[in-house]
């Protein structure tokens, strides 16, 4: 019972932090911190540190107790003071957490950090630093108490003796009994020589288990009851929207906006060379390095399946058609313009072993893109139909 | 009270022990070979049975069912007799169990290499073998329960609780997941389709890990660790809590293998939270193991058995923490389909299962031969080789998985994918190489163990029947009130029933709604059954084990939609008996491959993958080019599909082959246009038909604007 009581301050503080939620979630203009991953992380961190403080407090009280028994005269006051100090600090953390709660609703107008109001962020950060400070202070205290204890023993033998019954932080952390007192825990079970002890459950294990159960509850609540957690589909749609915005802004800033409506053959040698690199990487498996065609059609003759203007060829490469894959996911518009410009240089090279002509004969690029695009279109459709039937 | 004399049966333990050693080496060799094939595809020898797609199932089945399975049986037969103070219930059943299990393994090895597979991971064995497994499992159960019932020890020790839970749960999993409709002597179709098949399969697959690779091995730990360390078990109370929590929670976690797939979101969430809740129960086992060694750590420095156990338990702790972390959706988005998963399972397989199996062999064999281990030094060297092997295996795989997955997800500022799939593969080839070195070291260690154990056996004399004595169990009614769980430990049948109830709950709550509630798999009108040729092609796809390297599941991520196409929907898979979503992308996803490349591309690619994709890791599939399609099986396949509810018209089985030839001829004609001459009736044509069909139906569906999806 006594052990259980010790956790109450920590638990209470935890509850205070949690209970404060509706207060700050209520203000409609404020984005609820409970939907903000950063805020949740910080809160979890605060809570975890509180638990650590609770455990350390426990150890500190225990060490002080131990000392008190040994040296009744001096020990008592100090131990009591330590306890008081811990309680005081715990309470102050709780107050800070409360403050954090009330502040949010009033400061929504100010700037944000990671999607949460900056003042809330700073307050939470301050609480975390304070908690860290307390932990360090406690650790120093524990170290000090233990050191004092060590010096008390006159002989090595005495110290060894004490060591056997004294518990290390590891033993306390796991609630382990010294091996020498093991017989007290023996249950008297015996199976083929195997005996069983009945050690208490390591507290961190047990409370960790509870924590995962709490996590499970919150998770299911968030994703399937309150609806504040996104479904896979919502997550996807959001990521696409955000990316589209980012790309638009990037392209606007860059001022490079070639597309199927504005594309022209590039004649700059550097561009054509770039196009050649791309061609050799991605096109040669089907069209061969000389453009003569194998799986894909011959690119060097005067026969075109889908038109021969820069705009037409650009569209075929960018979006794909029939067996031709789409390349817009692998290459940007400029790169596609480069590769089609390289293809243009292959025109008329008449490589050996080229594939038989396919498509419509178009001797030269028509001066007006419109007519060039339209005229073969009818034939193309017919061709496509035939292909689909065969597939 | 009169003390009874009796004899422990060591002969059966010896048999299972030897089988463990033999199949351990075979399974590891298969794994090493498969690992080498990944960076050196020519080592498949262009021979169908030794390609990766058939070798990998052989490796996993050999390790799980032959190596760990036999090791568990050896350990159970050894410990159960001693914990019950009784000889096994029936020697006849023991030997039936032994030879039955070995016959299953032999049949599995042959059929898997021949490509006879159901196409469901870790449940690849075809229906006659499934039935044989059920029978042998029942024999094992009768033998185990017979021994428990005639025991001379009043209470059941915690190891036996784990054995009981193992038996009952594996029986349930195996039967439910193996429901299939036979088409011929060695071919069947899964009763379930698509999303439902996936859920059942991973409910099984995940719990095969839980109840074939974890609970029996925990039971072994509970017996052999305290024996080897000569220390009392740390906490009885922890045993109780972690045992019941473990078996109850484990069964729910299966859907974490299907995060971000077409599985309904609610089922995915259950998979997530139960995986997280699994950390503590799993760690309970680790704590009970490691804390039992308190006061015996000086022995660990000396004794190789304890060394192996400590690393095994530590690996268990690591992978049972990593597993729940990988079940968080944001982590899973990176780890899934990558080599990260491979690293994770090998921490469990090489570390936990392998090392614990080695430990118990090193413990039992000297004891049964009445001697001491031939060479402690050799065993210690085995320990170090194995440990370095594990590290050399796992680190490159973690690296490869993380790096490749991050590369898959990268975009240029213009919104193009930054890397082509092949670039990401080229980048991790050195890691594949390093991994096989790690595996080779581990295997070398195992071979050292074989020599050491053989010399130990030669040194001692085998005690076939070990004498023991104990007082018989008498019914006594003591007035003393017993702890509630102590009462349970006296009632094995109650324990069995309670275990079954515990493990049924999670499965029922997940499976039943997925089958009965229609909204879980929304219908898509444009999704139609496969044509006969496509169906034959799909069976070739399954036979060659394509699913071992290619997934068919585009997850709703921006990069995957860009790379592969629209993300997969539940309604697309309603005719997929079995589902082929896969679990690993050594090659790219194929869910939208239909229509992506010309027929001739596939033709050339299957003949010599490197000709279409420079640097490809895929083996050649030359035998598909002259083997004729098995058209004789078409009617039976169509009939089986009709039974399963696939809406082929009545009597279609009789005319299916006519349609098959029409489609095959059109593909052959299409290939001819690209200067490829091929007969129409060969398997490659069927496979092309299937590949060109995958993921296409949904494109006929009217497009919904993005805003409607929210």
Domain coordinates of chain B in residue numbers?
4-471+483-509, 532-709
Contact in structure between B9 and B81 (CB atoms under 8 Å) = yes
Identify whether residues A333 and A235 lie together within a single domain. Answer: no
Interface of B with A in 533-592 (CB under 8 A): 555-558, 561-563, 567
Number of domains in chain A: 3
Using alpha carbons, select from B574, B598, B618 the residue that is nearest to residue B51: B618
Q: What's the token pair of residue B369?
A: 């031969």
Domain boundaries, position A50? 2-226
Contact in structure between B43 and B104 (CB atoms under 8 Å) = no
Reduced to 3 states, what is the DSSP secondary structure of residue B132? helix
Reduced to 3 states, what is the DSSP secondary structure of residue B123? coil
- What pLDDT is attached to residue B710? 32
CA dist B141 and B166 (Å) reads 10
CA dist B664 and A371 (Å) reads 40
CA dist A275 and A273 (Å) reads 5
Interface with chain A: mutation pick from B78, B163, B238, B596, highest number of A CBs within 10 Å: B238
Q: Is residue A131 part of a domain?
A: yes
Using CA coordinates, name the residue in chain B closest to A193.
B227
Question: Do residue A240 and residue B706 have CB atoms under 8 angstroms apart?
Answer: yes
Q: Is residue A170 part of a domain?
A: yes
**Please, what is the angle between helix B194-211 and helix B158-177, to 10°?**
160
Identify whether residues A221 and A278 lie together within a single domain. Answer: no
**Please, what is the angle between helix B127-149 and helix B91-113, to 10°?**
160
Identify whether residues A199 and A332 lie together within a single domain. Answer: no
Q: Is the pLDDT of residue B201 over 80?
A: yes
Interface with chain B: mutation pick from A177, A190, A194, A292, highest number of B CBs within 10 Å: A194
**What are the tens digits of pLDDT across the range B11-45?**
999 999 999 999 999 999 999 999 999 999 999 99
Contact in structure between B166 and B216 (CB atoms under 8 Å) = yes
Number of cross-chain residue pairs from A and B with Cβ atoms under 8 Å apart: 174
**Domain B532-709 adopts which CATH fold?**
Cytochrome Bc1 Complex; Chain D, domain 2 (1.10.760)
The owner of tokens 């397989």 is B349
How many other C-beta atoms lie within 10 A of the C-beta of residue A129?
11
Q: What's the token pair of residue B383?
A: 């320990």
A388 part of contact set with chain B, CB < 8 Å? no
Q: Which of B265, B281, B558 sits opposite A231 (nearest CB)?
A: B265
Q: Which residues from chain B sit within 8 angstroms of residue A214, using beta carbons?
A: none
DSSP state of B595: T
Q: Is residue A346 part of a domain?
A: yes
Identify whether residues A55 and A202 lie together within a single domain. Answer: yes
Q: Which of A208, A246, A329 sits opposite B417 (nearest CB)?
A: A329
Question: Do residue B669 and residue A390 have CB atoms under 8 angstroms apart?
Answer: yes
Residue % of chain B over a pLDDT of 90:
90
Tell me the shortest Cα–Cα distance from B107 to chain A, in angstroms: 38
Lowest-pLDDT choice from A287-291, B144-148, B285-289, B664-668: A287-291
Question: Do residue B706 and residue A201 have CB atoms under 8 angstroms apart?
Answer: no
Mean pLDDT over B522-547 rounds to 95
Q: Is residue A324 part of a domain?
A: yes
A221 part of contact set with chain B, CB < 8 Å? no
Tell me the shortest Cα–Cα distance from A140 to chain B, in angstroms: 28
**Sequence-ordered alpha helix ranges (H) in B303-346:** 304-326, 329-335, 339-346
Residue % of chain B over a pLDDT of 70:
98
DSSP states of A3-68? HHHHHHHHHHHHHHHHHTHHHHHH-TTSPPGGG-HHHHHHHHHHHHHHHHHHHHHHHHHHHHHHHH
- What pLDDT is attached to residue A97? 44
Q: Is residue A146 part of a domain?
A: yes
Partners of B239 in the beta sheet?
none
Q: What's the token pair of residue B583?
A: 């679990």
Burial (CB < 10 A; 0-12, 13-18, 19+), residue B381, is middle
Half-sphere exposure of A225 (CA within 13 A, CB side): 7
Q: Is residue A263 part of a domain?
A: no
B281 part of contact set with chain A, CB < 8 Å? yes
- What pLDDT is attached to residue B703? 58
Contact in structure between B209 and B123 (CB atoms under 8 Å) = no
- What pLDDT is attached to residue A159? 66
Identify whether residues A237 and A360 lie together within a single domain. Answer: no
- What pLDDT is attached to residue B392? 96
pLDDT truncated to tens, each residue of chain A (391 aa)?
Answer: 444 444 544 444 444 444 434 333 333 444 456 667 788 888 888 899 998 888 888 888 877 776 666 655 544 445 555 555 555 555 544 444 444 444 433 333 446 666 677 788 888 888 888 989 898 888 888 887 777 666 666 566 666 666 666 778 888 888 888 888 888 888 889 999 999 999 999 999 999 999 999 999 999 999 999 888 899 999 999 999 999 999 888 888 876 667 777 888 888 888 888 889 899 888 888 888 888 888 888 888 888 888 888 888 888 888 888 778 888 878 888 888 888 889 888 888 888 878 887 777 776 544 444 444 344 444 443 333 333 333 3
Q: What is the mean pLDDT of chain B?
A: 94
DSSP states of B350-418? IIIIIHHHHHHHHHHHHHHTTS--S-HHHHHHHHHHHHHHHHHHHHHHHHHHHHHHHHHT-B-TTS-BS
Which residues neighbour B447 within 8 Å (Cβ) at sequence distance 6 or greater? B25
CATH of B4-471+483-509, one of 1.10.10.60, 3.30.70.1400, 1.20.210.10, 3.40.50.720: 1.20.210.10
Using alpha carbons, select from B88, B77, B75 the residue that is nearest to residue B7: B88
Identify whether residues A83 and A104 lie together within a single domain. Answer: yes
* C-alpha distances out from residue A77 to A2, A38, A89, Å: 20, 42, 18
Identify whether residues A173 and A216 lie together within a single domain. Answer: yes
- What pLDDT is attached to residue A374? 40
CA dist B661 and B680 (Å) reads 7
**What are the tens digits of pLDDT across the range B370-428?**
999 999 999 999 999 999 999 999 999 999 999 999 999 999 888 889 999 999 999 99
B245 part of contact set with chain A, CB < 8 Å? yes
Using alpha carbons, select from B198, B260, B251 the residue that is nearest to residue B514: B198
Q: Is residue A52 part of a domain?
A: yes
Q: Which residues of B505-529 are buried (b: 16+ CB within 10 A; e: fewer)?
A: ebbeebbeebeeeeebbeebeebeb
CA dist A13 and A33 (Å) reads 18
Identify whether residues A184 and A317 lie together within a single domain. Answer: no
Using alpha carbons, select from B674, B655, B700, B669 the residue that is nearest to residue B604: B674
Reduced to 3 states, what is the DSSP secondary structure of residue A345? helix
Identify whether residues A105 and A160 lie together within a single domain. Answer: yes
Reduced to 3 states, what is the DSSP secondary structure of residue B628? strand
Q: Which residues from chain A sit within 8 angstroms of residue B611, using beta carbons?
A: 285
Identify whether residues A8 and A143 lie together within a single domain. Answer: yes
Contact in structure between B616 and B609 (CB atoms under 8 Å) = yes
Q: Which of A195, A202, A329 sits opposite B563 (nearest CB)?
A: A329
CA dist B263 and B197 (Å) reads 11
Identify whether residues A302 and A249 lie together within a single domain. Answer: no
- What pLDDT is attached to residue A70? 62
Strands B4-9 and B465-470: antiparallel
Which helix (DSSP H) or strand (DSSP E) does residue B190 occupy? strand B187-190
Q: Is residue A197 part of a domain?
A: yes
- What pLDDT is attached to residue B707? 40
Q: Which residues from chain B sit within 8 angstroms of residue A182, using beta carbons?
A: 232, 295
Domain endpoint, select from A204, A226, A248 = A226
Q: What ipTM was assigned to the predicted interfaces of this complex? A: 0.92
Contact in structure between B653 and B706 (CB atoms under 8 Å) = no
Identify whether residues A319 and A384 lie together within a single domain. Answer: yes
Phi, psi (rounded to 5 degrees) for A191: -130, 110
């Amino acid at each position: 019972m006594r052990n259980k009581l010790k956790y109450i301050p920590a638990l209470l503080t935890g509850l205070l932090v949690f209970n404060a939620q509706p207060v700050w979630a209520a203000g409609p203009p404020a984005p609820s911190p409970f939907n903000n991953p950063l805020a949740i992380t910080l809160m979890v961190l605060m809570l975890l540190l509180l638990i650590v403080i609770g455990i350390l407090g426990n150890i500190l009280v225990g060490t002080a107790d131990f000392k008190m028994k040994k040296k009744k005269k001096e020990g008592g006051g100090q131990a009591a003071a330590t306890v008081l100090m811990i309680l005081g600090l715990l309470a102050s953390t709780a107050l800070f957490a409360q403050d954090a709660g009330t502040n949010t609703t009033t400061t929504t107008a100010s700037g944000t950090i990671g999607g949460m109001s900056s003042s809330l962020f700073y307050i939470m950060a301050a609480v975390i630093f304070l908690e860290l400070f307390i932990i360090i202070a406690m650790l120093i205290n524990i170290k000090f108490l233990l050191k004092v204890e060590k010096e008390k023993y006159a002989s090595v033998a005495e110290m060894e003796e004490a060591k056997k019954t004294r518990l290390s932080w590891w033993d306390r952390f796991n609630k382990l009994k010294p091996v020498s007192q093991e017989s007290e825990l023996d249950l008297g079970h015996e199976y083929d020589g195997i005996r069983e002890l009945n050690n208490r459950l390591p507290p961190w294990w047990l409370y960790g288990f509870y924590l995962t159960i709490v996590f499970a509850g919150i998770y299911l609540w968030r994703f399937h009851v309150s609806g504040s957690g996104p479904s896979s589909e919502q997550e996807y749609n959001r990521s696409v929207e955000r990316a589209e915005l980012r790309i638009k802004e990037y392209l606007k800033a860059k001022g490079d906006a070639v597309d199927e409506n504005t594309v022209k053959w590039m004649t700059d040698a550097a561009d054509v060379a770039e196009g050649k690199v791309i061609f050799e990487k991605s096109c040669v498996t089907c069209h061969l390095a000389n453009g003569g065609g194998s799986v894909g059609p011959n690119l060097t003759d005067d026969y075109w399946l889908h038109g021969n203007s820069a705009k037409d060829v650009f569209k075929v490469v960018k979006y794909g058609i029939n067996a031709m894959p789409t390349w817009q996911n692998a290459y940007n518009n400029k790169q596609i313009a480069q590769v089609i410009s390289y293809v243009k240089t292959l025109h008329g090279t008449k490589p050996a072993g080229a594939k038989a002509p396919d498509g419509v004969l178009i001797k030269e690029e028509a001066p007006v893109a419109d007519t060039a695009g339209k005229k073969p279109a009818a034939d193309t459709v017919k061709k496509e139909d035939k292909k689909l039937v065969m597939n | 009270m009169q003390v009874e004399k009796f004899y422990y049966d060591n002969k059966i333990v010896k048999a299972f022990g030897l089988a463990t050693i033999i199949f351990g080496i075979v399974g590891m060799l298969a794994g090493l070979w498969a690992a080498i094939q990944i960076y050196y595809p020519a080592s498949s020898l262009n021979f169908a049975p030794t390609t990766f797609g058939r070798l990998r199932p052989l490796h996993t089945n050999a390790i799980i069912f032959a190596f760990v399975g036999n090791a568990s049986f050896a350990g159970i037969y050894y410990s159960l007799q001693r914990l019950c103070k009784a000889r096994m219930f029936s020697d006849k059943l023991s030997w039936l169990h032994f030879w039955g299990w070995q016959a299953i393994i032999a049949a599995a090895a042959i059929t898997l290499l021949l490509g006879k597979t159901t196409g469901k991971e870790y449940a690849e064995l075809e229906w006659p073998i499934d039935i044989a497994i059920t029978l042998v499992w029942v024999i094992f159960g009768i033998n185990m329960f017979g021994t428990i019932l005639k025991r001379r020890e009043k209470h059941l020790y915690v190891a036996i609780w784990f054995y009981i839970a193992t038996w009952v749960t594996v029986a349930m999993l195996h039967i439910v997941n193996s429901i299939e409709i036979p088409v011929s002597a060695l071919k069947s179709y899964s009763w379930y389709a698509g999303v439902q098949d996936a859920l059942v399969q991973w409910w099984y697959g995940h719990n095969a890990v839980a109840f074939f690779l974890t609970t029996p091995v925990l039971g072994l730990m509970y017996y052999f660790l305290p024996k080897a360390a000569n220390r009392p078990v740390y906490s009885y109370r922890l045993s109780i809590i972690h045992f019941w929590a473990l078996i109850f929670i484990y069964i729910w976690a299966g859907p974490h293998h299907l995060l971000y797939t077409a599985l309904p979101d609610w089922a995915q969430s259950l998979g997530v939270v139960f995986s997280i809740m699994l950390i503590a129960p799993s760690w309970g086992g680790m704590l009970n193991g490691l804390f039992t060694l308190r006061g015996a750590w000086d022995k660990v420095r000396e004794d190789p058995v304890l060394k192996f156990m400590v690393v095994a338990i530590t690996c268990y702790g690591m992978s049972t923490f990593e597993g729940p972390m990988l079940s968080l959706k944001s982590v899973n988005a990176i780890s899934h389909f990558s080599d990260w998963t491979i690293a994770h399972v090998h921490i469990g397989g090489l570390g936990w299962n392998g090392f614990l199996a080695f430990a118990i062999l090193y413990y039992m064999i000297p004891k049964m031969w009445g001697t001491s281990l031939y060479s402690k030094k050799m065993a210690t060297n085995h320990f170090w080789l194995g440990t370095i092997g594990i590290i050399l295996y796992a680190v490159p795989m973690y690296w490869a998985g993380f790096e490749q997955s991050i590369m898959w997800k990268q975009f240029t500022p213009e919104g193009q994918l930054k890397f082509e799939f092949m670039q990401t593969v080229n980048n991790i080839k050195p890691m594949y190489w390093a991994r096989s070195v790690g595996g080779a070291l581990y295997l070398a260690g195992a071979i050292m163990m074989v020599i050491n154990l053989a010399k130990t056996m030669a040194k001692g004399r085998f005690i076939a029947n070990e004498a023991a004595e104990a007082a018989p169990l008498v019914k006594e009614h003591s007035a003393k009130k017993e702890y509630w769980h102590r009462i349970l430990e006296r009632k094995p049948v109650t324990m069995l029933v309670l275990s079954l109830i515990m493990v049924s709950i999670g499965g029922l709550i997940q499976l039943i709604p997925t089958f009965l509630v229609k909204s879980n798999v929304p219908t898509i009108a444009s999704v139609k059954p496969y044509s006969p040729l496509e169906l034959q092609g799909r069976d070739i796809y399954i036979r060659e084990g394509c699913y071992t390297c290619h997934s068919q599941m585009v997850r709703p991520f921006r990069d995957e939609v860009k790379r592969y196409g629209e993300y997969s929907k539940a309604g697309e898979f309603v005719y997929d008996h079995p589902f082929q979503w896969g679990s690993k992308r050594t090659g790219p996803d194929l869910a939208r491959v239909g229509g992506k490349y010309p027929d001739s591309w596939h033709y050339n690619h299957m003949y010599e993958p490197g000709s279409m994709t420079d640097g490809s890791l895929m083996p050649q599939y030359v035998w598909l080019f002259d083997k004729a399609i098995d058209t004789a099986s078409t009617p039976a396949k169509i009939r089986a599909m009709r039974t399963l509810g696939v809406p082929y018209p009545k009597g279609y089985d009789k005319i299916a082959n006519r349609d098959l030839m029409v489609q095959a001829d059109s593909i052959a004609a299409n290939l001819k246009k690209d200067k490829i001459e091929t007969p129409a009736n060969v398997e490659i044509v069927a496979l092309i038909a299937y590949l060109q069909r995958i993921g296409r139906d949904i494109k006929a569906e009217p497009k919904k604007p993005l805003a409607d999806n929210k």
